[in-house]
Amino acid sequence: MISSDIRSTFFAGCLAMVCAFWPATPSHAGAIASCDAPFVFEGSAANIVPIEYLATSAETHEREGSRLGKIQETAQHLAWLMKLDSWHQPTYGSLGAVAHVFNQRRCTGDDVLMGLIVGSDSPPIPPGQILLMLEGKIFIEGEEIFLQSRLRGFRRNMEFPDRRRPFTRYMIAESVEAALPNEGAALAAALPVIDVTFAPRAITEAELDEIDESFVGASAIHQAPSDESPASSLRFGHDRPQAFSVQLVEGGDWIKVAGHRSGGPTGFIRTNPEVSEFLHAKLPELDFVNGILGFFRVRQTMNAGPDDPVSFRPAPPGAAKHARASLQRFLDRETIGDDDAKALASALIGVLDGQSGEWKAARDAFAAAVATAPYRSEYRNLLGIADAQLCCSEGTEIASGDPAHAFVDAISIDPENPTALRNLDAFLSLLATTGQSPEGIDASRLNERQGAVRKALSGFEEQSR
Amino acid sequence: MALVTLKTSHHAIGLACIILTGFMLIFPQNAQARIEGCDNASLQDGDKIVIGSMNDLVGSIGTRRTRAMIAAFEMKFDKARSELHREAGVFYCGDRLVRESDDYSASIVEILNDEEVLLEVGARAEDSDLVITYIVVPIRHYAFFGGHQPLIEGYHEALYEKSRIDEGLEHLFRANAELRLMAALALALRYEKLAEAESSTEDRQAFMHRSRAFYCDAVGSINDAAPSDDLLGLLEEDWRALGAFAEAGARRLFQTALNDPAYAGSLAVVALERGGADDSDLGCLLTASSEDDQ
């Protein structure tokens, strides 16, 4: 039997060869694909894949065939708008956007995701590449359109593709590591898998028309990258699927559009982030999507190494700032029923702050995540890490909590959690080694406490053998 | 009429048994009883949430409102499933009639429990309200029938005003988390029972930990599942009973772990850090540390 490592190495080698002989791709690309032949741009650092939203089972016994047809046409229109929206947002330097629509049959998100992982109309997504997939449910009653979105996002790991395995096997397990002060051990926290279902939203047909007109106006295709240049409009047409690739030019102020495969529009579109405002007000998850994209791009750039089988264009310098702003916009929008997504957005802002050494801001963000989702152990663990950074560094006088409290609460609500246990062990060791007893920190019974932690840790180690 | 029937046939039953036995030996994961009114071919192994027929609503609230109701339901379930990390599959059984409490007898519930059904959800119209019914199968099986705990029936109802459907389905069930509360409780109790039946120390410990995590998730959903000021949502006494069951379950798991001489897991660390194992120390979170976070 081939070991996982050997298979992974083989996979990485194969991908490197595929990429070497594949044509160079633009830094920013867009297309429409049939959902039963999934496709992404293999050279882009990231791909956003909006899939035509699926009618609910309320339509299963629907006798009015035109009703289902209208729902799916609207769903395709929305997928198109989401793709255009991704062009006008901060793109973090290298992005493909491929709307997937139903062709001969309806597809689920799982179908498309597996096709992209094992390879279909494009090669298997390579290690390190970012994929964000937006799918959902749609329902129409009268003039109102109801939508519920689900976002899945990850960076691809080195695992060899196999249809029988769960999707999480192909995702890099995102985590945070931060060394304790005074050259102490590293603390760690796992971040939740990005798989979020948002609360349902309502949008009227008139509003959809207004959004569409805004994007038509903002997406005029000019013959040259100049506002004075003659232009034609780029419109959604259910019977006219348009496939093309695009490339950022003029420092990101313009995108160059070229017909993809079987022709299509050619020219230049001026990017305009403001055009998205109304759409994002109706669908705040699009701010979240952009924030997650930036977050992954920052981590992709941070973790890039010379031995990577595929190297991607680094994220631009302002990526973390843009990502943070998008996540904050999502937090500022008034929604009900999105607590899990809001807690995650706060936590990711904290991670970005922590990465740049802003531990006080990080602590505030993690505390906000804990307040929004008090029973998620990941956020308590992150709060403990920030507290440990703040409590015990020499000369630090910033008020924080006792990190042990946060780690213990994380263990209490999720006892199968060796990461928080290891953090507690490392923190108690720091107290024992330095002999410090900062104000508000319980430094009593250290031997007894460390003994209990190590006994529990050895149980986990036995289990994993 | 039984709600659940096993796949049997009077004709050639002997031959069917032989074939079925052989099939189970080859594909044990496919051996499953049938749940009446469901598309059994699409049912998968593992924990399930079953949504019953909404057809009875058509006569009382009309086709259009029934359609909106199904869509709202589906969106709510997709969300709850995501929040529970997709621990359970959701299956829509268009021909399955969800009945009154009395129809869920000990024997019926036992079969549903064996089929790994966590929750069964139905809806009926009553005057100006919609009544959503929830059968929390493990609670009804283990606690109500098996544990003789009359305060928690495992059959619960939540009221919603019909007129709210017209306000837009995104408002119909918003900010109400009774579904997540009940699904988390069902999973918690299921893992607790697996732990009780497990002889391997390591596996028992892992089941206990999962059970505690789901009880704590349920505790975290209690406030969001509270009845609204206009008395819509869960009945007040049902909500209190479910909340008490979640709190008690989380504490019971903790105490059981500490009382188990073979237990060497992380809850022992929590007890030591909290300075004891009194009832106040066994909760999911310590009040003091929660306040620090605000």
A134-146 pLDDT, tens digit each: 999 999 988 899 9
Q: Best residue in B170, B174, B192 to probe A by mutation, most A CBs within 10 Å?
A: B170
Same domain, A234 and A369: no
From A62, A202, A456, residue closest to B268, measured CB to CB? A456
For residues B70 and B123, the answer to whether their CB atoms sit within 8 Å is no
pLDDT per position as a tens digit, A266-300: 889 898 888 999 999 999 999 999 999 999 999 99
Asked if A424 and B269 come within 8 Å (Cβ–Cβ), the reply is: yes
Residue A361 lies in a domain: yes
Same domain, A110 and A226: yes
Boundary of a domain, candidates A266, A288, A310: A288
Same domain, A355 and A436: yes
Closest residue on chain A to B67 (Cα): A58
The total of structural domains in chain A comes to 2
Same domain, A369 and A283: no
Asked if A337 and B79 come within 8 Å (Cβ–Cβ), the reply is: yes
pLDDT per position as a tens digit, B255-287: 999 999 999 899 999 999 998 767 677 899 985
Asked if B285 and A406 come within 8 Å (Cβ–Cβ), the reply is: no
CATH classification at residue A457 = 1.25.40.10
Please tell me the distance from the alpha carbon of residue B234 to that of residue B227, in angstroms, as a whole number: 5
Asked if B270 and A415 come within 8 Å (Cβ–Cβ), the reply is: yes
Please tell me the distance from the alpha carbon of residue B264 to that of residue B266, in angstroms, as a whole number: 7
Same domain, A40 and A132: yes
Query: Which pLDDT score is estimated for B35?
Result: 83
For residue A279, the distance in angstroms to the closest alpha carbon of chain B comes to 17
SS (H, E, C) chain A: CCCHHHHHHHHHHHHHHHHHHCCCCCCEEEEEEECCCCCCCCCCCEEEEEECCEECHHHCCCCCHHHHHHHHHHHHHHHHHHHHHHHHCCCCCCEEEEEEECCCCCCCHHHHHHHHHHCCCCCCCCCCCEEEEEEEEEEEECCEEEEEEEEEEEEECCCCCCCCCCHHHHECCCEEEEECCCCCCEEEEECCCEEEECCCEEEEHHHHHHHHHHHHHHCCEECCCCCCCCEECCCCCCCCCCCEEEEEEHHHCEEEEEECCCCCCCEEEECCHHHHHHHHHHCCHHHHHHHHHHHHHHHHHHHCCCCCCCCCCCCCCCHHHHHHHHHHHHHHCCCCCCHHHHHHHHHHHHHHHHHCCCHHHHHHHHHHHHHHCCCCHHHHHHHHHHHHHHHCCCCCCCCCCCHHHHHHHHHHHCCCCHHHHHHHHHHHHHHHHHCCCCCCCCCCCHHHHHHHHHHHHHHHHHHHC
For residues B93 and B52, the answer to whether their CB atoms sit within 8 Å is yes
Closest residue on chain B to A193 (Cα): B85
Residue A71 lies in a domain: yes
Closest residue on chain A to B266 (Cα): A456
Query: Torsion over CA of B267, B269, B273 and B277, rounded to 10 degrees?
Result: 50
Q: Which domain holds residue A452?
A: 338-464
Chain A positions touching B68 (Cβ under 8 A) are 58, 139, 141
Same domain, A279 and A377: no
Residue A310 lies in a domain: no
Q: In DSSP terms, which residues pair with A33 in a beta bridge?
A: A100
Boundary of a domain, candidates A288, A322, A351: A288
Cα end-to-end distance, chain A, whole Å: 20
Boundary of a domain, candidates A263, A288, A313: A288
Same domain, A247 and A363: no
B86 contacts: CB under 8 Å, gap ≥ 6: A195
For residue A306, the distance in angstroms to the closest alpha carbon of chain B comes to 35
Residue A145 lies in a domain: yes
Instruction: Name the token pair of A382.
Output: 């992150």
Asked if B293 and A370 come within 8 Å (Cβ–Cβ), the reply is: yes
pLDDT per position as a tens digit, A302-339: 999 888 888 898 998 899 999 999 999 999 998 888 99
The angle that helices A377-391 and A339-355 make with each other, rounded to 10 degrees, is 30
Chain B positions touching A195 (Cβ under 8 A) are 82, 86
Residue A351 lies in a domain: yes
For residue B10, the distance in angstroms to the closest alpha carbon of chain A comes to 33
Chain A positions touching B81 (Cβ under 8 A) are 197
From B64, B74, B272, residue closest to A56, measured CB to CB? B74
pLDDT per position as a tens digit, A21-44: 333 344 455 667 788 889 888 888
Same domain, A266 and A372: no
Residue A12 has pLDDT above 80, yes or no: no
Please tell me the distance from the alpha carbon of residue A356 to that of residue A375, in angstroms, as a whole number: 27
pLDDT per position as a tens digit, A131-183: 999 999 999 988 899 999 999 999 999 998 888 888 889 999 999 999 887 67
Place of tokens 């007040």: B236
Low-confidence ranges of chain B (pLDDT < 50): 1-32, 288-294
Average pLDDT over residues A85-106: 83
For residues A92 and A322, the answer to whether their CB atoms sit within 8 Å is yes
Closest residue on chain B to A337 (Cα): B175
Same domain, A455 and A351: yes
Type of residue at A458: S
Asked if B175 and A336 come within 8 Å (Cβ–Cβ), the reply is: yes
Burial (Cβ within 10 Å: 0-12, 13-18, ≥19) of residue A26: buried
Asked if A414 and B286 come within 8 Å (Cβ–Cβ), the reply is: no
Asked if B289 and A415 come within 8 Å (Cβ–Cβ), the reply is: no
Same domain, A448 and A354: yes
Q: Which of the given ranges, A78-87, A384-393, A443-452, B25-34, has the highest pLDDT on average? A: A443-452
E strand intervals along B179-292: 233-234
Asked if A415 and B212 come within 8 Å (Cβ–Cβ), the reply is: yes
Q: What are phi and psi of B32, to 5 degrees?
A: -155, 145
Which of A44-53, A89-98, A293-302, A366-375 is least confident? A89-98
Closest residue on chain B to A144 (Cα): B168
Residue A266 lies in a domain: yes
Same domain, A221 and A351: no
Residue A107 lies in a domain: yes
Residue A185 lies in a domain: no
